[in-house]
Chain A
């Protein structure tokens, strides 16, 4: 009975945490005051669009919220991240706070003889004598060029954070198994999940003979995507799995592992499908070859689109507070957006798990297809 009580109180704590999180998330939403117009406060629909798209993109600093102080100056709350760029004169590192939250390419950062500006989260190196970035009609910069950007951006930071969290959690679990059969602490939460990935995803899809080889990869992918998705629901504004580059890399791993572990039968079924007439074989070969590429492509797009769409919808619901303010009043609009975004956040919790599950499941399915040994008749 005691155990049941503590589990219940933990659940209650978890629920109140989510309530707090969604309440805080609406605190991240831009606020508008009657007398602060023209200082960057978000008031109209087009500005909300811009704000949401800015959140979806990767950024060079954490931006939690902004407000106007009593003198009408715009204050930004957040913390900077290191910028690492490889310019024409070598490597340059500085904190992104040197840009002073400027994203329009006007604030020039001088760093050892080169001038850098940030425009739409891209860093450009200005040519000699230029004082601000200028664009031609096709939106190519006329007096600057792009630099190789190796910065620790918001997504890279999140990526590293997830990696460290996973290393700590699973490293401790692995250490515990050396001493005892039953893990303690957080390991008790992880063990059933690990067994779930192994027994429900890897084993039935890949087959009894080969599943052990791929369980490590599948487990890494599953926990990485899940943790990243959950991190995206915190008010810090991470959008790791909503970056095409991240999902591309994950899908690339699945693709490479599938192709390199493919058996003779797998390749035979691609290039010279047995059991069909020769003209059909010639037509089928390119289609099947294309099929190997479309599978990881759909993995990439699915994860990216699901997470991005989820973030966009949550942000839009939060923005209802601003759009409906004139019709419902401040309290009514806030209550409406809070209730809607709270329920959508709950759905997003499900989606966070489901997308990790589907990515891992389909990866296992593709790998299973490649390593399957056909019976010869």
Chain B
């Protein structure tokens, strides 16, 4: 692995981390406001997180 690759991987992880943090944070907030909607919020959260993860892994994979 060369230095540009490593820096790129780091940037991808930072971006994905910010995204996942936002998703998780908003979901927590939503659950706190409406505990009865927990299941729906969790499902939606996992789907969005999976889409984001796919993007991040795709970028890592292409940059390898």
Name A residues whose Cβ lies closer than 8 Å to a Cβ of B.
297-299, 301-302, 304-306, 309, 354, 357-358, 361-362, 365
Please measure, in the bound complex, the distance between the C-alpha atom of A309 and the C-alpha atom of B53, giving whole angstroms.
Answer: 13
Of all A-B residue pairs in the complex, the 8 with the closest CB atoms, nearest first, are: A298-B54, A305-B57, A302-B54, A358-B50, A301-B58, A301-B57, A301-B61, A302-B57
Please measure, in the bound complex, the distance between the C-alpha atom of A302 and the C-alpha atom of B46, giving whole angstroms.
Answer: 13
Contacts of A297 in B (CB 8 A): 58
Q: A298 to B58, Cβ gap below 8 A?
A: yes
Please give 19 more A-B residue pairs, beta carbons under 8 A apart, in addition to A298-B55, A361-B50: A301-B57, A301-B61, A302-B50, A302-B53, A302-B57, A304-B61, A305-B57, A305-B61, A306-B53, A306-B57, A309-B57, A354-B46, A357-B46, A358-B46, A358-B47, A358-B50, A361-B43, A361-B46, A365-B47
B60 proximal to A (CB < 8 A): yes
Name B residues whose Cβ lies closer than 8 Å to a Cβ of A.
43, 46-47, 50-51, 53-55, 57-58, 60-61
Cβ-closest chain A residue relative to B54: A298
Q: A298 to B51, Cβ gap below 8 A?
A: yes
Cβ-closest chain B residue relative to A200: B43
Interface of A is mostly: helix
Cβ-closest chain B residue relative to A298: B54
Contact of B47 among A305, A306, A361 (CB under 8 A): A361
Contacts of B54 in A (CB 8 A): 298-299, 301-302
Contacts of A302 in B (CB 8 A): 50, 53-54, 57
Please measure, in the bound complex, the distance between the C-alpha atom of A239 and the C-alpha atom of B49, giving whole angstroms.
Answer: 24
**Which of A305, A357, A361, A362 has the most CB atoms of chain B within a 10 A radius of its CB?**
A305
Contacts of A306 in B (CB 8 A): 53, 57
CB distance from A50 to the nearest CB of B (A): 15
Please measure, in the bound complex, the distance between the C-alpha atom of A305 and the C-alpha atom of B47, giving whole angstroms.
Answer: 17
Q: A362 to B47, Cβ gap below 8 A?
A: yes
